[in-house]
Amino acid sequence: MLGHITDPSTPHGLVRRELPEPEPGDHDVVVGVGAYAVNRGELNLLADRADGWTPGQDVAGVVVRAAADGTGPAEGTRVVGGADQGAWSERVAVPTHRVAAIPDDVSFAQAASLPVAGLTALRALRVGGSLLGRRVLVTGASGGVGSFAVQLAAAAGARVTALVSGPHRVAEVEALGAAEVVTAVDEQTGPFDVALDGVGGGVLTDVVHRLAPGGTVVAYGVAGGEPESELAFFDFGSAPLARLVGFFVYATGEETFGDDLAVLAEMISAGRLDPKLGVVRDWAETVEAVDALRQRQATGKVVLTVS
């Protein structure tokens, strides 16, 4: 089968070529890939695993081989799933607990946007507790995780303030249901009961300064690329008993990823969640799509389709 593999001898360090078929464990289905998404975290992995690594976590497609242990969907089922690696290929093995069937009216491109970004947004918001009537701040709001978080928080009844990198992102994020879109977190914004931060650095410090007493900031990423925030005791001076939570989606119970993927896919089908697909290209253009993400040209998710 064809698939992508890192190879430092090639011009982009990533090449599509003939690869061995996946070797599923007893608990894995094999998915015939219809679409996959690229995550910012994978950009670092491409550099760290530059020789002989097969990238790809987020995948949607059709089950072409059911799991030997009898768990998970039958052959022919349209699914979304989160693989360990190898999803930028024609076929990939995925553990059945990280797979969900998708409704017929959800496209492979929409579904492929869900695993890492959608699960991170959903589960990071859950850390903040009930969102009904609460003031929620989402940073990096035009990004993969952020664009899901804005919509999910609004759907849960929160009043959402969205931070974007500049005026060119405002209209797109307003359309996601944010009550307010800002380009800086300052004295004019907040205070917030819950904040999700995927930017890090000085933005994380600004967010802590605008928390309400007892508020929660869930820090899940450093997309801003700045050095880490140098937070100290007095940064919490206006928000006594506030808490800062370091969030890692794989530490939140991956055995139920499939259940939550089903929830998100149903929300798309019901018109309550609209995956922001910033770049959708044929998978022959994976190198260019990866570059678009690296250059911060995309809003929302970067998705490749496999025909």
Please give the residue ranges that form the binding site for ligand NAP (CB under 6 A). Answer: 39-41, 116-117, 120, 140, 142-146, 163, 165, 169, 198-199, 203, 220-224, 247-249, 296
Query: At closest approach, how far in Å is the CB of 68 from ligand NAP?
Result: 30
Radius of gyration (Cα) for the chain, nearest Å? 19
Q: Measured from the CB atom, is 72 or 144 closer to ligand NAP?
A: 144
Query: At closest approach, how far in Å is the CB of 221 from ligand NAP?
Result: 2
Query: At closest approach, how far in Å is the CB of 138 from ligand NAP?
Result: 10
Residues 6+ apart with CB under 8 A from 270: none
Q: Measured from the CB atom, is 72 or 299 closer to ligand NAP?
A: 299
Q: Measured from the CB atom, is 165 or 269 closer to ligand NAP?
A: 165
Contact 141, 166 (CB under 8 A): no
Q: Measured from the CB atom, is 106 or 122 closer to ligand NAP?
A: 122
Query: At closest approach, how far in Å is the CB of 181 from ligand NAP?
Result: 11
Q: Measured from the CB atom, is 66 or 194 closer to ligand NAP?
A: 194
Query: At closest approach, how far in Å is the CB of 116 from ligand NAP?
Result: 5
Q: Measured from the CB atom, is 181 or 239 closer to ligand NAP?
A: 181
Q: Measured from the CB atom, is 7 or 41 closer to ligand NAP?
A: 41
Query: At closest approach, how far in Å is the CB of 46 from ligand NAP?
Result: 13
Identity of residue 306: V
Q: Measured from the CB atom, is 52 or 246 closer to ligand NAP?
A: 246
Contact 161, 150 (CB under 8 A): no
Give a three-class secondary structure readout of the chain.
CEEEEECCCCCCCEEEEECCCCCCCCCEEEEEEEEEEECHHHHHHHHHCCCCCCCCCEEEEEEEECCCCCCCCCCCCEEEEECCCCCCECEEEEEHHHEEECCCCCCHHHHHCCHHHHHHHHHHHHHCCCCCCCEEEECCCCCHHHHHHHHHHHHCCCEEEEECCCHHHHHHHHCCCCCEEECCCCCCCCCEEEEEECCCCHHHHHHHHCEEEEEEEEECCCCCCCCCCCCCHHHHCCCCCCEEEECCHHHCCHHHHHHHHHHHHHHHHCCCCCCCEEEEEEHHHHHHHHHHHHCCCCCCEEEEECC
Query: At closest approach, how far in Å is the CB of 298 from ligand NAP?
Result: 7
Query: At closest approach, how far in Å is the CB of 71 from ligand NAP?
Result: 25
